[in-house]
Amino acid sequence: MNGRAVAEGGSPDPRTPGAGATAPPPITEIETYGVERIPAHDRTARPLDLFRVSFGGANTFATCVLGAFPILFGLSFWQGLGATVAGLLVGALILAPLALFGPLNGTNNAVSSSAHLGVHGRVVGSFLSLLTAIAFFSISVWSSGDALVGGAARLVGLPANGFSHAAAYAVFAALVLIVCVYGFRFMLFVNKIAVAAASLLFVLGVFAFAGDFDASYPGTFASTADPLFLPSFIGAALIVLSNPVSFGAFLGDWSRYIPAATPRHRVMGAAFLAQAATILPFGFGLVTASIIAAKAAPYLDPAAPNYVGGLLAVSPGWYFLPVCLIALIGGMSTGTTSLYGTGLDLSSVFPRFSRVQATVLIGALSIVFIFLGRFALNLTQSISTFATLIITCTAPWMVIMTLGYLTRRGWYDPEALQVFNRRQRGGRYWFTHGWNWRGVAAWAVSAAPAIAFTNIPGQFVGPLGGLAGGVDISLPLGLGTAAVLYLLLLAVFPEPRAVFGPRGPRLVRAADTPVPPIIGPGGTGAEHPARV
């Protein structure tokens, strides 16, 4: 234990490795923690666990579906590979700093965003978390359910009709909900299995498709000078990039169980490498989509693509069972990592709900969207549109969080972050009636034009999407605007000196503005900042 903390009557320093650590609870014990700060003695996770959950949540059949989009957009195999690698690396670099907030503050990233958007403005992060959860939970259920039904149809003759698909979706969604209700430990257990099992099954695909794969697949563009090539390349890269960016609002859900003393480069490295490793499922989707396009082109008709059906059509008979296992194991992993965090966060936004109740509610709403998207809407456009919204809305928020971390020198007051959750008022992050208009304005002004300039050919085009010659500039516009505007607002309208801690601000200046004490239910009128 930290002697000074004990002498002062405080708790052990959470930045002391192993301070007061206890054995983790059984995986079958329902998690009771919400978004309150995780005590040091319960922080038993490691960066490797963060890697497993992050990689397990993306090493799935749903990612294979996203990996097929470059071919669907008309790119050749090598052009698609270039778009995939570019999207993955850029997305992983944007994502990695978001892993630091969990160990530092012991809570999820939406709550941590209170420091930069205000204790009420943190609902922006909650909204982004909800949007992401519904989108990727739906993608996992759609893709996994279709693969299970298609594989069962080929293996045992199960009728592949609307009823069988609906039944598969319902059963699969229920299984995901059960894991999420049990909580983090059970989810970590599922992902430990999923990482190894799904990776092995993807490697088996090398043997299944080696004879059919042709790296010289030309795509539909006769030349890169084709006016539609660059928009298609960028659109494909953005679809890939949406996968790592989609984890931005969730990383704190898992990294909050990592001890605060863990070196930051290890935490960021785990988050980055987890996304870089998803070249495996993305590559699987890219390779198999090129085979489908060459041998069973109707399955990739842009008007009504059916990647799962095409995959089963070109797979050897012995690979049907592995495809079903990938769908089941990987889909469970994606679904749980998407749904768990949003249930966790919603329970703090609406305190009448427990974590379990909020998880069930979000799961039920997602299931409604799943059935609407599958049976009443265009599935491909649903996936593409939601992925686009995730990028354009979440990426500026992530930039604000990262720059805020830099300007604060990684210093936060964990007690003040919890003001909203405890229904209190005041504290370092109260700003203007609970809103830090600097961060909120920078996010809104960056996200809105980014959506307007989005241009994904044949999928989603914003009202200003044609002004850049057909090129999708939504991501660089959103990222650049957020970075410049946020720093400009901090410079012109400095934040209170109290939010920066004892070392003061970095890159920006501070104002000598008084900070109101924390008052309200459970409030003491005092703050207890954590030093980094």
Q: Specify if 4 maps to a domain.
A: no
Say what the pLDDT of residue 179 is. Answer: 74
Report pLDDT digits (tens) over 280-294.
Answer: 999 999 999 999 998
Separation of first and last alpha carbons in the chain: 17
Mean per-residue pLDDT for 207-216?
92
Q: Specify if 11 maps to a domain.
A: no
> Confidence class of residue 392 from pLDDT cuts 50, 70 and 90?
confident
User: What's 516's DSSP letter?
Assistant: P
Contact 238, 472 (CB under 8 A): yes
Q: Specify if 15 maps to a domain.
A: no
Report pLDDT digits (tens) over 319-365.
Answer: 888 877 777 777 777 667 667 666 666 766 776 666 677 777 777 77
User: What's 24's DSSP letter?
Assistant: P
Q: Rounded to an integer, what distance in angstroms lies between the CA atom of residue 403 and that of residue 222?
A: 43
Say what the pLDDT of residue 98 is. Answer: 95
Report pLDDT digits (tens) over 440-474.
Answer: 999 999 999 888 888 766 667 788 877 877 777 88
Q: Specify if 222 maps to a domain.
A: yes
Q: Specify if 531 maps to a domain.
A: no
Say what the pLDDT of residue 526 is. Answer: 40
Render the burial of 108-132: b for 16+ CB within 10 Å, e for the rest.
Answer: bbbbbbbbbbbbbbbbbbbbbbbbb
What's the CATH code of the domain at 483? 1.10.4160.10
Distance of CA 467 to the CA centre of its chain: 30
Contact 239, 384 (CB under 8 A): yes
Nearest of 499, 505, 103, 459 to residue 302 by alpha carbon: 459
Q: What is the mean pLDDT of the chain?
A: 81
Residues 6+ apart with CB under 8 A from 155: 320, 321, 324
Strands (E), 238-287: none
Higher-confidence position of 203 and 358: 203
Mean per-residue pLDDT for 235-259?
86
Query: Tokens at residue 176, please?
Result: 């995901």
To which residue do tokens 């309200």 refer?
520
The number of beta carbons lying within 10 Å of the beta carbon of residue 432 is 12
Per the document, the length of the chain is 532
Cα atoms found within 13 Å of the Cα of residue 52, Cβ hemisphere only: 19
Mean per-residue pLDDT for 40-54?
88
Q: Specify if 433 maps to a domain.
A: yes
Q: Rounded to an integer, what distance in angstroms lies between the CA atom of residue 429 and that of residue 337?
A: 29
Q: Rounded to an integer, what distance in angstroms lies between the CA atom of residue 508 and that of residue 407?
A: 7
Query: Tokens at residue 424, please?
Result: 């209190």
Q: Rounded to an integer, what distance in angstroms lies between the CA atom of residue 340 and that of residue 151?
A: 28
Mean per-residue pLDDT for 405-425?
91
Q: Specify if 28 maps to a domain.
A: no
Q: Specify if 487 maps to a domain.
A: yes
Angle at 129 between CA 327 and CA 268, to 5 degrees: 80
- Highest mean predicted confidence (pLDDT) among 303-312, 456-465, 500-509: 500-509
Domain of 391?
A: 38-511
Tell me how many domains the chain contains: 1
